[in-house]
Structure formats: structure tokens, C-alpha cells
Amino acid sequence: MKTYNRSYLIITILLLVIAPASAERSPSRFKSGQYENLKLAIDESGHLTGFYHEEQGDGVVKSCSFYLAGLVDGDKSTVVTWSNKAFTGKLKANRDSVTLQIENGLDHLGCGLVLMPEIKSGLDLERDSLSELLELRKVSSPRVHFHEKADAKSELKSYLVDGNIVGVMVRKGDWIEVEYQGVKRTTKGWIPVSSTEALTPPK
């Protein structure tokens, strides 16, 4: 089911090689936040994670979703994007927007019917809001409840399910404080980091 290509393998190797030299890269000009249908998070080391999700239609809904990850260098980042397939791309930080370019972006699952064709040459996405997110992670447990504090005794009624994407605001031992952007509201709270998995390209 997973498809790999030569450029994906090259960029994966490149990310591994340049990661130790992160201090030599230009300071990041990227800012965590929501850019239309793209949510981005950048940590203090310049590691970038993102999630693109777009839906169209009222009756029969068409959906396009994929993840991305990379290392930032100033206002640019070479990224790996993946859903059912993995493709390389480029991300550029502008003053109030980012430009995402994925030559094969329309080949991501469902995106050929939804994503704008400009994705091939560069799709501009305006910033809707800023955040203090360090990382995006995917919930990997069938159900995990939010907690008021970073301990098991402060469980709340609200919960997340497998596949939900959360933004990490704070890390504290085995716990992370996250926010989840739902259809009607954004929920914040603490969950065990073990109930989630990192957004990393498939191997």
C-alpha cells in the first residue's frame, strides 16, 4: 500500500545527515499556526511538522489530507509529505503566509479532486492564527481522556480518538499539554505522550 520513490529516499537521508548540524542553519522565520488548511508546528531546533486537511461538498464530501515534516533553514524548508504515498516538497515562509510546493501533491489520496493545481508550482496559504505549538502528533490510542493536570488523577470527560491530530504546547515528563481543533471549538488539556505517535515519514 505504501509507495516510495527515489526523491523521497534522498530527502530522508538528507534530513538525517543535516540534523546534527542544525546550529549552522539560518534562524527559522517560520511561525507555528494555522495557514488556511495547513497546521504547522516548529520546535526550538527547527524541526517542522504539519498537517494539511481540506474538505469540499455538502452531500458527498471530498477530502484531501496529508502530513509533512522537515527542517527549516531561514525562510525555507525541504519537506517530505505523505498519505498513501510519499513525495518531497518545499515550504517557504512569507510575511503573513507560507508557500507550499509539491510537484506530485495531486497524487496524495483524494487530493486530485480537491487540492488547487497551483500546488505543483507553489500554493500560497494565508495565516489565520499564530500558536505556540512545538510539534504535531497523532493520537494512537482508541480513546484517551484529557486531564486538567499532568497526572492520572485529574481526568476530564472530554477525550480524543485514534487518528486525531494534536498540537503539543508543553512537554512535562511522560505528559504533554496539547490542543485539539475540532469542528466547533478548540480543546486543551494534558494527555500521556505514550497515547500518541510522532509524525515521521514512513520507512
pLDDT in tens, 74-130: 999 999 999 989 999 999 999 999 999 999 999 999 999 999 999 999 999 999 999
The arithmetic mean of pLDDT across residues 152-174, rounded, is 97
| Residue 122 backbone class (left: φ over 0; alpha: ψ -120 to 50; beta: rest) | left
Q: Do residues 143 and 87 share a domain? A: no
Contact 76, 85 (CB under 8 A): no
Q: Do residues 124 and 94 share a domain? A: yes
Q: Do residues 124 and 147 share a domain? A: no
CA-to-CA distance for 4 and 203, rounded, in angstroms? 9
Residue 15: the pLDDT is: 54
Q: Do residues 125 and 49 share a domain? A: yes
Q: Which of 82, 107, 130 is the last residue of a domain?
A: 130
The overall pTM is greater than 0.75? yes
Q: List the one residue out of 35, 107, 108, 100 whose CA is nearest residue 70.
A: 100
